[in-house]
Amino acid sequence: MSQFRSSDWFGKSGKMGFLYRSWMKNQGMPADLFDGRPVIGICNTWSELTPCNAHLRDLAESVKRGVYEAGGFPVEFPIMSLGETLLKPTAMLFRNLASMDAEESIRGNPIDGVVLLTGCDKTTPSTMMGAASVGLPTIVVPGGPMLNGKFRGADIGSGTAVWKLTDDLKTGKITNDDYLAAESCMSRSAGHCMTMGTASTMACMVESLGMCLSGAAATPAVDSRKKVLAQLSGRRIVEMVKEDLTISKILTRAAFENAIKVNAAIGGSTNFLIHLTAIAGRVGVELNIDDFDKLGSRIPLLLNLMPSGKYLMEDFFYAGGLPVILKELSSELDMSTVTVTGKSHAENISSSSICYNKDVIADYLEPIIPEAGIAVLKGNLALNGAVIKPSAATPALMQHTGRAVVFETIEDYHARVDDPDLDIDETCVMVLKSVGPVGYPGMPEVGNMVLPKKLLDKGVTDMVRISDGRMSGTAYGTVVLHVSPESAIGGNLALVQNGDMISLDVPARRIDLLVDDAELDKRRLLWQKPAYHTDRGYVSMYQRHVQQADKGADLDFLVGNSGSVVTRDSH
């Protein structure tokens, strides 16, 4: 009998072997499944409350077929699923909890290798964080994007269309009936957002890291080839177990650097920074906020996809998908890094990197934008850093000084933003406090504040907006995010007052509150730390242990890993 990790359960003699095998057999499993073959855990984030992942039950069956074909023993298990569209107050609050669920489910069970079925924004990083903390052979099957939204003869994209249609509704350009009709037109198939939102960004992150089969990121959820990829992933994870190709052998510093550069080339979400940093922290790879600017900010934008362009993920797939991006960017990447196939990126894409639509994927030497990665800003308003996505911003606002209009909380913003008497014009800087990891809690996607109605009525489409929160990867605008330290723990953002002048200089990587240190010291003496939202449960633990955005917003006691060894039996 082979001595895979699962043999410590199913290979035992006596009472414990009897217990471990017997109760599994009530599912109709024949005795030869317990003969020492690799046991493959299928970590499924399926849930009807996570619409983006509601098709993952079908994908799990395809994975199982592949596992059986390769001589493995598949066992599917659920973990907490995080639906970005429904879960209050924000799915980000529970990313770390889901990572703990994944970690302990993998470590505590007779699993030799794991397949992660992911889709919606937080389901990808949470499962990867958990798997990385255990360290077994791991492969990801991204659930895939929806088909393109179609509304009255035009393509509309998840999220991106929501922000535009909402502005149009507020200004009377469309009726409420139009608005309601667009709902079904935007979300017309299984899958996650088909813009380059966080879900698509996470899928591309997985592929650029080498954690899924080549081409998997852009394959639509309802394309039959998605099931083929799932079945092939089931076969491959069995081989990975036999080869002892663990997740830490793939998630190297070079792999993370590749992912940063690819994210810039595709116009990926700013949320990428938080999630990649947290994953790196679980495998012990040093990654800091400055790496994202140093490595990615000079990379050209190659993908013409909403919100930074005009196409959608279905078009990206037809144009050739991420293998084409890897080929075009190959001079910037380490193409020798190992992937889940056991081969390098260079080997994986050697016969599958032809571009079929140059309007969707540009040449490296003729990019859409010459420099497009996430820019990291520092200054007295963000001592540890803040981020902005230049490819989704207004060029004329990239250097701007304006008067602060301050909203102390999200409730304050909602109550006053459309007040006709609000003292604001298009030159002002909108500031939103108390939406960081501790302050909200959970750091929601509210940083792309909708502009005041009276300015939308004037035809204003963008303003500088600053917060310690996040924004959806589907969103756009000159939005400064992830201000660290956040306002709720006493960062200088907490001290901003109405009328203060704020200077944004993206080329110089600066974000400054134009108030002298003596005045800030006076304000700090008067500042009072907000009370925690609760004294019980996970939320209480989260607020007391969450790290700041520049550290990945992981819980401080989860950084690092505990491995896969469990020495004590259950009875």
Domain-embedded: residue 355 = no
Inside any domain, residue 507: yes
Q: Are 20 and 12 in contact (CB under 8 A)?
A: yes
Specify whether 137 is located in the same domain as 163.
no
Residue 2: its pLDDT value, please? 58
Q: Is the peptide bond before 145 cis (omega within 30 degrees of 0)?
A: no
- Same-domain pairing of 281 and 394: no
Residue finishing a domain among 129, 162, 185: 185
> How do residues 343-364 score in pLDDT, each as one tens digit?
999 999 998 889 999 999 999 9
Please, are residues 394 and 477 in contact by the beta-carbon 8 Å criterion? yes
Same-domain check for residues 255 and 397 = no
Residue 550 lies in a domain: no
pLDDT, tens digit, 9 for 90 and up, residues 388-430? 999 889 999 999 999 999 999 999 999 999 999 999 999 999 9
User: Quick one: which of 272, 285, 131 has its CA closest to 202?
Assistant: 272
Residues 213, 123 share a domain: yes
**Quick one: 197 and 317 in the same domain?**
yes
Express each pLDDT in 240-296 by its tens digit. 999 999 999 999 999 999 999 999 999 999 999 999 999 999 999 999 999 999 999
- Read out DSSP for 442-454? S--B--SPPPPHH
Round the average pLDDT of the chain to a whole number and report it. 96
Pairing of the two strands 375-379 and 382-388? antiparallel
Q: 329 with 287, same domain?
A: yes
Are 215 and 173 members of one domain? no
Q: Same domain for 326 and 393?
A: no
Q: What pLDDT, in 10s, does the model give residues 523-537?
A: 999 999 999 999 999
CATH number of the domain residue 265 falls in:
3.40.50.2300
Residues 136 and 282 in one domain: yes
261 SS3 class: helix
Convert the pLDDT of each residue in 547-562 to its tens digit.
999 999 999 999 999 9
Q: How big is the chain by its Cα radius of gyration, in Å? A: 24
Instruction: Give the domain-ending residue among 350, 384, 408.
Output: 350
pLDDT at 220: 98
Same-domain check for residues 277 and 386: no
Rounded Cα distance between 13 and 246, Å, is 28
DSSP H/E element including 189? none
Number of domains the chain is built from: 4
Q: Look at residue 551 and tell me if it is in a domain.
A: no
Side chain identity at residue 314, one-letter code:
E
Asked whether residue 363 is domain-assigned, the answer is no
Amino acid found at 333 = L
Label residue 40 by pLDDT band (50, 70, 90).
very high
Angle at 387 between CA 386 and CA 391, to 5 degrees: 160
Parent domain of 22 = 1-29
Same domain assignment for residues 47 and 79: yes
Q: Are residues 509 and 523 in the same domain?
A: yes
The tens digit of pLDDT for each residue in 288-341 reads: 999 999 999 999 999 999 988 999 999 999 999 999 999 999 999 999 999 999
pLDDT-based confidence at 1, cuts 50/70/90? Answer: very low
CATH classification at residue 389 = 3.50.30.80
Domain for residue 557, yes or no?
no
Residue 367 lies in a domain: no
Does residue 547 sit within a domain? no
